[in-house]
């Protein structure tokens, strides 16, 4: 007599493609989508906004029709968006993908969003509009580097993780400290967003030659200008409801073009500043990734990169 055996549910598989800006993460993800049953999920804080297309390297409408991406075009630049909202929404997309028998493929380089989604997020108080207004007013009065210094005095661990120019995160960290009376690190309860037991394959596309990466970044920005980035920013400036201080408008490229159109810089300086800011972003992304264990590093300059990744995934995924 044969005994009935309990069926074992398959282990959920999740694939991540990340890396510094400008290495071709989206192209690699779309190439994999042609070969594997995946659901594409963007992890890019700029692509969330409907009005930010060219400067965020968002896939165009034709590509999105063929290869839909979750977490793209969710909000207007006029509406705030938090990492918590991102994580819960992305979690829904991941669970829906797995339920449909597909593999969630996360693609993007917003490291704070990616880390929060994969590792969980400390439960923190909701935004306080009145307190944010006070902090924003203080930031404009004394400068955000001074606000970062103030954060360092009350929560040095949080300040060490935040760039002194990152207005949104500095403001949020100060807000949490004011609302709870405690440092962020002392808040211990944590929300998790991945299915229980999920196996995550983290692929990092990078460049072995830093000068090659810098050249890619410069070429990419020039292509954005050719495709109409200046016109895209001009349209936003002409909307009286859009303010330069909105978090979305702090995105690299948009900030520099806005200042150029506002007469504060010339075109050459705008280009230099945008490319320099992109290089600095790439450096921060790589630093974050080098301090994260479990990554599979790939050479983005390899001509057969897609084939290499496809062979690897066939080996490690059932």
pLDDT tens-digit readout, 33-56: 999 999 999 999 999 999 999 999
Estimate the crossing angle of helix 267-290 against helix 210-227, to 10 degrees: 130
* All residues at 6 or more sequence positions from 130 whose CB lies less than 8 Å from its CB, including other chains: none
CA distance 56 to 67: 17
Torsion on CA atoms 274, 170, 295, 297, rounded to nearest 10: 10
Global pTM exceeds 0.75: yes
CA distance 318 to 316: 7
Residue 295 token pair: 């990554």
Alpha-carbon separation of residue 177 from 65, 137, 162 (angstroms): 43, 17, 15
Q: What does the pLDDT read at residue 8?
A: 52
Q: In this prediction, what percent of the chain has a pLDDT beyond 90?
A: 76
CB 52 within 8 A of CB 78: no
pLDDT (mean) for 177-204: 85
More confident residue, 253 or 1: 253
Mean pLDDT of the chain: 92
pLDDT band (50, 70, 90) for residue 188: low
pLDDT band (50, 70, 90) for residue 2: very low
CA distance 31 to 33: 5
The pLDDT of residue 221 is above 50:
yes
Q: What does the pLDDT read at residue 94?
A: 98
pLDDT (mean) for 164-173: 87
CA distance 165 to 33: 36
The pLDDT of residue 148 is above 90:
yes
Question: How many Cβ atoms are within 10 Å of 193's Cβ, its own excluded?
Answer: 21
pLDDT band (50, 70, 90) for residue 129: confident
Sorted by where each starts, the structural domains of the chain and their CATH numbers stand as 13-123+190-316 (3.40.50.300), 129-186 (1.10.20.140)
Q: What does the pLDDT read at residue 165?
A: 82
Q: What does the pLDDT read at residue 1?
A: 43
Q: 296-316: string of b/e by CB count within 10 Å (b at 16+)?
A: eebebbeeebbeebbeebeee
Q: What does the pLDDT read at residue 107?
A: 98
Longest dimension (CA), the chain: 85
pLDDT tens-digit readout, 70-107: 999 999 999 988 898 999 999 999 999 999 999 999 99
The pLDDT of residue 244 is above 60:
yes
Backbone angles phi, psi at 236, to 5 degrees: -70, -40
Residue by residue, what is the 3-state secondary structure of 278-315?
HHHHHHHHHHHHHCCCCEEEEECCCCCHHHHHHHHHHH
CA 208 to the chain's CA centroid: 22
The pLDDT of residue 3 is above 50:
no
């Amino acid at each position: 007599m044969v005994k009935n055996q309990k069926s074992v549910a398959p282990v959920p598989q999740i694939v991540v493609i990340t890396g510094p800006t400008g290495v071709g993460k989206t192209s690699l993800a779309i190439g994999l989508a042609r070969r594997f049953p995946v659901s594409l999920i963007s992890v890019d804080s700029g692509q969330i906004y409907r009005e930010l297309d060219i400067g965020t390297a968002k896939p165009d409408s034709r590509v999105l029709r063929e290869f839909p991406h979750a977490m793209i075009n969710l909000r207007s630049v006029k509406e705030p968006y938090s990492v918590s909202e991102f994580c819960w929404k992305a979690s829904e997309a991941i669970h829906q993908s797995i339920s449909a028998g597909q593999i969630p493929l996360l693609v993007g380089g917003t490291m704070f969003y990616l880390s929060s989604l994969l590792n969980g997020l400390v439960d923190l108080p909701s935004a306080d509009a009145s307190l944010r207004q006070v902090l924003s007013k203080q930031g404009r009065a004394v400068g955000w580097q001074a606000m970062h210094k103030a954060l360092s005095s009350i929560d040095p661990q949080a300040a060490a993780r935040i760039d002194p120019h990152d207005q949104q995160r500095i403001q949020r960290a100060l807000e949490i400290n004011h609302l709870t009376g405690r440092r962020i690190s002392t808040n211990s309860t944590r929300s998790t967003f991945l299915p229980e037991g999920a196996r995550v394959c983290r692929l990092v596309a990078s460049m072995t030659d830093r000068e090659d990466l810098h050249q890619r970044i410069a070429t990419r920005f020039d292509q954005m200008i050719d495709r109409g980035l200046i016109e895209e920013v001009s349209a936003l400036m002409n909307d009286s409801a859009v303010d330069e201080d909105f978090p979305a408008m702090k995105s690299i490229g948009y900030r520099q073009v806005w200042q150029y159109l506002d007469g504060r810089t010339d075109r050459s300086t705008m280009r230099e500043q945008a490319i320099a800011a992109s290089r600095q972003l790439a450096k921060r992304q790589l630093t974050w990734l080098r301090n994260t264990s479990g990554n599979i590093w790939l050479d983005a300059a390899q001509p057969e990169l897609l084939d290499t990744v496809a062979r690897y995934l066939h080996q490690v995924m059932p």
